[in-house]
Chain A
Amino acid sequence: MDSSVIELDDLEVRFGKRAILKKLKASLTGRSIGLLGPNGAGKSTLLNTLLGFHKPSSGTARIFGRDIRTHAREVRSLIGYMPENDSFIASMSGVRFVRLMAELAGLPHEHALERAHEAFFYVGLGEVRYRALGTYSLGMKQSAKLAQAIAHGPKLLFLDEPTNGLDPPARARMIQLIQEIRDRGDLHIMVSSHLLRDVEECCDEVLILKDGNIAAFCNLEEERRSNRRFLEIETHGSNNGDFLTSMEKLGCETAQGAQGRIKLILPDGLEVRRLYEVAAEQNVQIRRLNHKRDSLEDIFLKAMETGDAK
């Protein structure tokens, strides 16, 4: 059985003559998928297309195997959506609004009310749930948007710039909520953001868009695992090159930098402890050792450079 959460099958979206998404092809399987890209890359358009707000001009996409062209209603019943902009009815109380949205998603009246209360407590707005949404602060509105997105228990949650305009404590709280939801494992999450840190903290798979194309697609977990073998050490007394040769004999890939800095990729099975043993044998001091890893920023910048080169 196909395990992909979202499958993009040559998806193209045009507004008039302008192509916004250009033949996207990818299979996203992660529990939490990040959608990265600079402004205007097509992140929100992709989310809106998956929700059925924009019609693909060619190709299609499938969510849990259901085609967005032919099963739009079914697809939307699986999704919870937290939009980027303010979206609410100002005069409605928070809990009544979330109840309305849950009922529209198909929950019976009494369940919708119960879950609206729960969702409000969950996002930390329990005490203000009877206040009109128009009186909420920006951070509270963001949380209320998250509450309406999860109240009906979706299988896939679309979060479009979830930390937009939040102060640091509110941002930390929002990230914590997203991580909690992710770690429970009941639903998949797709986070669209231009903030690398948000995506890095919440996601295990990243799709980077640029000018409507896929600039990069990587599994952050695998990326992190592979980078565990990448070391950067600072040595003293290894200028004669013997230490490097010994490392290569152990199967390491090496590169020597200035002032005794050496970059190493360790082969499988070689413990870091062995480095210290060889260094001791050759009277070389290892003064610093870093497990260097390719950060999401590196991946993002690389993707942007590759995109520019194209």
Chain B
Amino acid sequence: MAVYKKTYRPYEGALTSSWRRLLVIPRYAFEDLYRSKFLTIFFLASFIQPLVAAILIYVQHNAAVFNLVGAQGANRLISINVTFFMSNLGWQSMLALFLASFIGPGQVSPDLANNALSLYLARPFSRTEYVLGKMSVLLILLSMMTWIPGLLLFSYQGYLEGWEWMKTNIRFATGIFFGAWIWILILSLLALALSAWVKWKPAAGGLMFGVFFVAAGFGATINGVQRTNWGHLFNISYLIGSVWVWLFEGSNKTTNGAVFFRAPQGEELPLWCSWTALAVLCLICLYMLARKIRGMEVVR
């Protein structure tokens, strides 16, 4: 119907499936994100580190490159081992924290600040679908920054080293995949939960950093004052680091974590404590989301 015919008419066409509806929110969110030059540049810049890592893998397997510049045998100085992959994941995960702090708060807070939730949820669209839709934006972007380049590097190294190396070090791949997913899940839940409670975007972003760095400082203070290691339970990077070490190496530990995500030697807590603390953090975030993501807030 032409727009000049200003009458109301019912809709009688086909409707989309609930799965396609779930993708509407991320599609709109990505359209908004790509409008921000800063975020686009930051996102693209986050691939510099994996690119450097790929070059290192290449030159490690091509001694001729060093021979050209007269540094024979320098390739032996580069070790492609657990530290290499874990450090790569550590760097990318730190960049993921920055990206989540930039884009996470913008996901839910504008909807809450303007009471738009009642309009979302007045449609055949549940609270879970809303949260999943918003979360998928972070899950996709952070995946592209963390485990996808990590697994590509692993595959590249495996391709150059051979099938035997891949089989021996398959734990690196599972460590990259599951380690990154744990981090992504925590980041996404935390970003959404904070943006649901703090409606002002910059404050929510700042609070993300606060949770990671201030809480770690608080934990360190507890450790210092009480002469204990239990303060590390407030240090998310410590918790993640200890879980990563287990995922990458099992019980035969040769490292104490990755860059930014280290569990200092001699200060280790039982592994189950790290898992439990991370699970509790996720549950708190889910509770915060369940309280705030409602069509109508009830004042009892």
List A residues at the B interface (Cβ < 8 Å).
15-16, 18, 48, 51-54, 73-74, 76-77, 79, 81, 83, 85-91, 100-101, 103-108, 111, 115, 117-118, 121-122, 126, 148, 150, 152-153, 155, 180-181, 184, 186-187
Interface positions of B from 196 to 242, Cβ below 8 Å from A? none
Residues of A within 8 A of B299 (CB): 15
For the complex, what is the distance from the CA of A129 to the CA of B16, rounded to whole Å? 25
> Given A73-B124, A122-B6, A186-B10, do A104 and B115 touch, yes or no (CB 8 Å)?
no
A86-B115, A87-B118, A122-B7 are known contacts; what are 12 more A-B pairs with Cβ within 8 Å? A15-B300, A54-B298, A77-B123, A87-B119, A89-B110, A89-B111, A89-B114, A108-B13, A122-B8, A148-B119, A150-B8, A186-B9
- Nearest-neighbour CB distance to chain A for B84, whole angstroms, equals 43
For the complex, what is the distance from the CA of A187 to the CA of B12, rounded to whole Å? 13
Q: How many residues of chain B are within 8 Å of chain A by beta carbon?
A: 39
Tell me if B110 and A90 are in contact (CB < 8 A). yes
Tell me if B6 and A53 are in contact (CB < 8 A). no
Tell me if A16 and B300 are in contact (CB < 8 A). yes
Interface of B is mostly: loop
Tell me if B6 and A121 are in contact (CB < 8 A). yes
Quick check: is B21 within 8 A (CB to CB) of the other chain? yes
Quick check: is B68 within 8 A (CB to CB) of the other chain? no
Tell me if A48 and B13 are in contact (CB < 8 A). no
Residues of A within 8 A of B16 (CB): 103, 106-108
Residues of B within 8 A of A101 (CB): 119-120, 123
For the complex, what is the distance from the CA of A77 to the CA of B125, rounded to whole Å? 9
Tell me if A76 and B1 are in contact (CB < 8 A). no
Tell me if B123 and A105 are in contact (CB < 8 A). yes
Interface positions of B from 124 to 148, Cβ below 8 Å from A? 124-126
> Given A101-B123, A106-B21, A117-B3, do A81 and B13 touch, yes or no (CB 8 Å)?
no
Per-residue contact bits, chain B 5-42, to A (CB 8 Å; 1 contact, 0 not): 01111111111100001001100100000000000000
Tell me if A77 and B24 are in contact (CB < 8 A). no
Tell me if A53 and B295 are in contact (CB < 8 A). yes
- Nearest-neighbour CB distance to chain B for A156, whole angstroms, equals 11
Residues of B within 8 A of A83 (CB): 115, 118-119, 122
For the complex, what is the distance from the CA of A48 to the CA of B118, rounded to whole Å? 9
Tell me if B118 and A115 are in contact (CB < 8 A). no
Residues of A within 8 A of B115 (CB): 83, 85-87
Tell me if A187 and B114 are in contact (CB < 8 A). no
User: Nearest A residue to B110 by beta-carbon distance?
Assistant: A89
Interface-central residue, A16, A104, A115, A118, by most chain B CB under 10 Å: A104
Tell me if A184 and B8 are in contact (CB < 8 A). yes
Tell me if A104 and B123 are in contact (CB < 8 A). yes
For the complex, what is the distance from the CA of A107 to the CA of B17, rounded to whole Å? 10
Quick check: is B4 within 8 A (CB to CB) of the other chain? yes
Tell me if B114 and A108 are in contact (CB < 8 A). no
9 contacts between A and B (CB under 8 A): A15-B300, A51-B295, A81-B122, A88-B119, A101-B119, A106-B15, A108-B13, A153-B12, A155-B10
User: Nearest A residue to B117 by beta-carbon distance?
Assistant: A87
For the complex, what is the distance from the CA of A103 to the CA of B26, rounded to whole Å? 12
Interface-central residue, B3, B16, B111, B122, by most chain A CB under 10 Å: B122
- Nearest-neighbour CB distance to chain B for A122, whole angstroms, equals 5
Residues of B within 8 A of A126 (CB): 3
- Nearest-neighbour CB distance to chain B for A200, whole angstroms, equals 22
User: Nearest A residue to B17 by beta-carbon distance?
Assistant: A106
Quick check: is B53 within 8 A (CB to CB) of the other chain? no
Return the contact of B9 from the options A48, A108, A153 (Cβ within 8 A): A153
Tell me if A104 and B120 are in contact (CB < 8 A). yes
Quick check: is B121 within 8 A (CB to CB) of the other chain? yes
For the complex, what is the distance from the CA of A220 to the CA of B113, rounded to whole Å? 39
- 3 smallest CB-CB distances across A and B, nearest first, come from A153-B11, A53-B295, A106-B15
Residues of B within 8 A of A150 (CB): 8
Quick check: is B116 within 8 A (CB to CB) of the other chain? yes
> Given A54-B298, A73-B126, A122-B6, do A111 and B118 touch, yes or no (CB 8 Å)?
no
Tell me if B294 and A118 are in contact (CB < 8 A). no
- Nearest-neighbour CB distance to chain B for A52, whole angstroms, equals 7
- Nearest-neighbour CB distance to chain A for B27, whole angstroms, equals 9
For the complex, what is the distance from the CA of A134 to the CA of B4, rounded to whole Å? 26
Interface-central residue, B11, B21, B300, by most chain A CB under 10 Å: B11
